[in-house]
Amino acid sequence: MALENIARKKGYATTVISVEKPYEESVQAALDTLDDTGVGGIIVIAPLVDMAAAVWNASCRVPVEMIAAGASSTPNVFTYSENQELGARLATQHLIDLGHTDIAHFAGSMDWFDGRVRKRGWEAALRDAGLAPGLCIEGDWSPKWAYETGLQLVREGRIPQAIFAASDHTALGLIRALAENGIRVPDDVSVVGFDDIEGSDYFLPPLTTVRQDFTALALMSTEVLLGAMEGRDVDRTPITPTLVVRSSATRATPKAPHQNTPGTPPNKT
C-alpha cells in the first residue's frame, strides 16, 4: 500500500501480481506478465529465502528491485531494505544497557530474511558486549506459538531475565503466557519486540519495540527503482529503524529471574 501511494504521487500507475509456490514457476510467470504489459520497472517484495532465489534466477528486460532484508544484489537484481539487523541490535543493546546479561531470543522463522537478520543482530549485540548468546527458540512469528512456548519455559523453570521477541505478535503471546503464571513484565522479565505494530502502545504493559518506517521504505525503494530506470545513481543506504521505549523493559535487579518449579502453582501478587 505504501509503495502504491508513493508511486501515484510520483505520477506512476502500479500493477500488483501475487505469486505462490512453486516460486520457480510463479515468479518467472509474474515477471513475464509485467514485462509484456510494458512496465518500466518492477519491485518484488521477497521476505522468503526460497522466493528470493527464484527472483535471482529469473530473467526480465526491465530493472528489477527486490525488497529483502540483508539479501545481496546480483547483476540482474538489486536489493533494498530497512536495516533490520541494526534494529535487532538496538533492541538487544537496550536490554544490555538496562543491565541484563541473560537475554533470550524468541526468533522468527529462518525461512525468512527478517528472521535471519534479526537473530544475527541479537547475536552481534551480545558478542560486542562480551556476553554469550542466551536461549534462542525459532518459531513462526505468531502469538499462538509464542504463548505455547512461553508456557513450556514456565513449566521447565527456564525463564530468562530478558527476552528480545522477533515480532510484536510474538511478544504479545509471550507476555500472556507469563502473566497467566504470575510472572510480571517488566518486574520479573523484560521484553522488547520488533515492528511497532498498530496497538503495541496499548499492550499491557505498553511494548518497547523497534519501529519500521514503511512509508520511508516505500519512498526510498521507489527512488532506487526510478534511478535504475533513468540511469542515474541513487543512494542505496538502508533505512534506519528506531527504538521506541515504553514500559515492557526495566533495569535488571540483583535478584535471580522469576522461575516456577514444574508442577507447582504460580505465585500470585
Query: Which among 80, 19, 70, 63 is positioned nearest to 49, based on CA atoms?
Result: 70
Q: Around Cβ 217, how many Cβ atoms within 10 Å?
A: 20
- 179 and 226 housed in the same domain: no
93-121 CB burial, b ≥16 within 10 A, e <16: bbbbebebbbbbbbbbbeebbbbbbbbeb
- 117 and 143 housed in the same domain: yes
In this structure, what is the dihedral angle of CA atoms 122, 221, 53, 89, given to the nearest 10 degrees?
Answer: 0
- 108 and 149 housed in the same domain: yes
- 196 and 158 housed in the same domain: yes
Q: Is residue 263 part of a domain?
A: no
- Residue 100, domain CATH: 3.40.50.2300
Residue 265: its pLDDT value, please? 42
Distance CA 239, CA 209 (A): 17
Distance CA 134, CA 112 (A): 21
- 21 and 125 housed in the same domain: no
Residue 255: its pLDDT value, please? 58
- 68 and 120 housed in the same domain: no
Q: Is residue 196 part of a domain?
A: yes
Domain count, the chain: 2
Residue 261: its pLDDT value, please? 39
Helix (H, G, I), strand (E, B) or coil at 44: strand
Query: Which among 205, 125, 111 is positioned nearest to 164, based on CA atoms?
Result: 125
Output the tens digit of pLDDT for each of the chain's 269 residues.
889 999 999 899 999 999 999 999 999 999 999 999 999 999 999 999 999 999 999 999 999 999 999 998 988 899 999 999 999 999 999 999 999 999 999 999 999 999 999 999 999 999 999 999 989 999 999 999 999 999 999 999 999 999 999 999 999 999 999 999 999 999 999 999 999 999 999 999 999 999 999 899 999 999 999 999 999 988 889 999 999 999 999 999 875 444 443 334 444 33
pTM over 0.85: yes
Take residue 124 and report the three cell numbers written for it: 552481534
Take residue 120 and report the three cell numbers written for it: 544475527
Residue 254: its pLDDT value, please? 73
Q: In terms of residue numbers, what domain contains 39?
A: 2-82+212-239
Concatenated DSSP letters of 162-203: EEEESSHHHHHHHHHHHHTTT--TTTT-EEE-SB--TTGGGS
Q: Is residue 268 part of a domain?
A: no
Distance CA 174, CA 115 (A): 17
Q: Is residue 69 part of a domain?
A: yes
Residue 91: its pLDDT value, please? 98
Q: Is residue 257 part of a domain?
A: no
- 218 and 202 housed in the same domain: no
